[in-house]
């Protein structure tokens, strides 16, 4: 599953520094706007200790983790919705992503200029929100013009439903709220809403970029962000991008862990961010484990066994017969598939089985 998170933010908030930590692809991290003109794409491995523990027991020829694509998108400025700066390019790039990692500057540094002259993460957030909301309003107004007449005079039920969804979104956007704050109860409404592909309906995580001293507990700027987004359906993550950059330069795992311990962190901000981005996309992991490979597979939370089988190959889904399932904890406890079977812990599941995070799966199919 090629899923993308887009890193966005105003110029000079630490986007490219963070991207460099996440990926071996080196975006320019310069002290001026628009140093990232084309979106840089990094394919990021999702850290998962379960994969390593399975490999220790199975001794496979190779280990294949799951991944998420991270896209570093050019910094946005006021007026982007009207084409200012790299506005149209920015908006086109963000539309293609599945979720947004919105980086906010939450540190003071006289050596790094702020595009608006002072540090205020809530103002910065509102600038980008405003530009995205304006673009979504343009989309909504254009759709309303298309369906309004049919909805109000033609007796077209589908047009009426679409019109009602559009009006709800329009009301929220005109109040300065993002589309993600609007909830729809029926499946039909939810389907119409999804198909609009609104920029502000995408799941969002606010990444508060702090100085090293604030890496563990945050600071006054982070508190400002927490208060500003408390009513949004959004997450907050604290990362010290400059510190993460220093950690990434260290050659050995032991050195990196020692550095983290000195700062007071158990896990790097990069690892936390990747895991959080994975959850933000509503993703989970199941495993296949054999002597050839131990592999992590990405699926959407709530998927049934045939859909998850289709992640490996479409034939697995078409010809699905059953799934043999071992719970991760059982595999670790008993140490092998044979021992799990002997203990009577191997489950045989049909088409209605909802796959659980960490399941070790073997699919039976016939095409």
DSSP state of 103: E
Identify whether 54 is part of a domain: no
Distance CA 242, CA 257 (A): 16
Whether residues 101 and 217 share a domain: the answer is: yes
Identify whether 121 is part of a domain: no
270 among the known binding-site residues?
A: no
Mean per-residue pLDDT pooled into runs of 10, the chain (367 residues): 80 83 52 46 84 94 87 66 54 82 90 74 91 89 87 78 92 91 89 90 92 91 93 86 84 84 85 84 93 94 96 95 97 95 96 97 92
State the residue range of the domain holding 188. 126-194
pLDDT at 343: 96
Identify whether 212 is part of a domain: yes
Identify whether 167 is part of a domain: yes
298 among the known binding-site residues?
A: no
Whether residues 264 and 150 share a domain: the answer is: no
75 among the known binding-site residues?
A: no
Whether residues 20 and 85 share a domain: the answer is: yes
Number of Cβ atoms within 10 Å of the Cβ of 185: 7
Whether residues 6 and 152 share a domain: the answer is: no
243 among the known binding-site residues?
A: no
Q: Tell me the whole-structure pTM to 2 decimals.
A: 0.80
Whether residues 208 and 70 share a domain: the answer is: yes
Whether residues 26 and 70 share a domain: the answer is: yes
Whether residues 31 and 154 share a domain: the answer is: no
User: Which CATH number do you get for residue 97?
Assistant: 3.40.50.300
Identify whether 166 is part of a domain: yes
26 among the known binding-site residues?
A: no
Distance CA 184, CA 165 (A): 8
| Domain count of the fold of the chain | 3
12 among the known binding-site residues?
A: yes
Distance CA 230, CA 104 (A): 16
């Amino acid at each position: 599953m090629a899923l993308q998170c887009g890193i966005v933010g105003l110029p000079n908030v630490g986007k490219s520094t963070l991207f460099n930590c996440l990926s071996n692809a080196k975006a320019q991290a310069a002290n001026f706007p628009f140093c990232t003109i084309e979106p840089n794409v990094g394919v990021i491995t999702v850290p998962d200790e379960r994969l390593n523990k399975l490999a220790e027991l199975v001794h496979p020829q190779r280990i294949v983790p799951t991944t998420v694509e991270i896209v570093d998108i050019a910094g946005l400025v006021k007026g982007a919705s009207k084409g200012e700066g790299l506005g149209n390019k920015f908006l086109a790039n963000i539309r293609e992503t599945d979720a947004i990692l919105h980086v906010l500057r939450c540190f003071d540094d006289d050596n790094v200029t702020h595009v608006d002259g002072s540090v205020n993460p809530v103002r910065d957030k509102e600038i980008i929100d405003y530009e995205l909301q304006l673009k979504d309003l343009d989309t909504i107004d254009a759709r309303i013009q298309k369906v309004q007449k049919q909805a109000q005079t033609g007796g077209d039920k589908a047009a009426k439903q679409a019109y009602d969804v559009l009006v709800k979104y329009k009301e929220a956007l005109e109040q300065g709220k993002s589309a993600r704050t609007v909830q729809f109860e029926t499946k039909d409404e939810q389907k119409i809403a999804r198909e609009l592909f609104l920029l502000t309906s995408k799941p969002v995580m606010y990444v508060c970029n702090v100085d090293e001293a604030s890496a563990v507990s945050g600071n006054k700027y982070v508190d400002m962000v927490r208060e500003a987004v408390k009513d949004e359906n959004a997450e907050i993550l604290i990362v010290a991008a400059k510190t993460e950059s220093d950690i990434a330069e260290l050659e050995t795992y032991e050195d990196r862990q020692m550095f983290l311990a000195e700062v007071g962190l158990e896990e790097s901000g990069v690892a936390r961010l990747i895991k959080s981005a994975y959850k933000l996309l509503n993703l989970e992991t199941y495993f296949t484990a054999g002597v050839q490979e131990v592999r992590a597979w990405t699926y959407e939370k709530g998927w049934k066994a045939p859909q998850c089988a289709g992640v490996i190959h479409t034939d697995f889904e078409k010809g699905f017969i059953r799934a043999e399932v071992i719970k991760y904890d059982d595999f670790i406890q008993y140490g092998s598939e044979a021992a799990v079977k002997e203990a009577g812990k191997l489950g045989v599941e049909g088409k209605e089985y909802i796959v659980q995070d960490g399941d070790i799966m073997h699919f039976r199919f016939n095409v």
